[in-house]
Amino acid sequence: MSPLYRSYSVFLEDYKQGKITCETSVKHYLKQAEESKDLNIYIELFDKEALAKAKALDKEAKQIGVRGKLFGMVVSIKDNICYEGKAVTASSKILEGFISTYTATAIQKIEAEGAIVIGRVNCDE
């Protein structure tokens, strides 16, 4: 079964029925990103963190149920949005080597709703 979904509601329904897990979904999208490396879409993948978050969400859902408006949704962030402990360059050589000391409010909010950030994607300088 492919974890590709045309709508979040279909994913969520399949999740609740046990047809898919967050971990399976994250692995699928990480694989897709790896297979499309030649397109230069992703600057960095957060493999370990994304899989850890997916496993934690799966475990939490078994214990207390699905929570959050974006539970299990896999997202990527543009290279101009700060994510604590990760590089952010806005595709500019001036910011090369800069590591963010905080996470942007937008990212904090989507993560609080159960979204899983798998990496940062290219953008125009």
pLDDT at residue 3, as a whole number: 52
- Block means of pLDDT (10 residues each) for the chain, 125 residues, are 73 93 95 93 96 97 94 96 95 92 97 97 87
Q: How far apart are CA 47 and CA 49, in angstroms?
A: 6
Pairing assessment for the beta strands 74-78 and 42-45 based on DSSP bridges: unpaired
The model scores a pTM over 0.85: yes
pLDDT at residue 1, as a whole number: 40
In the block, residue with structure tokens 């974006």: 70
pLDDT at residue 99, as a whole number: 95
3-state secondary structure of 25: helix
H or E element at residue 43: strand 42-45
CB-CB contact of 29 with 118 (8 Å): yes
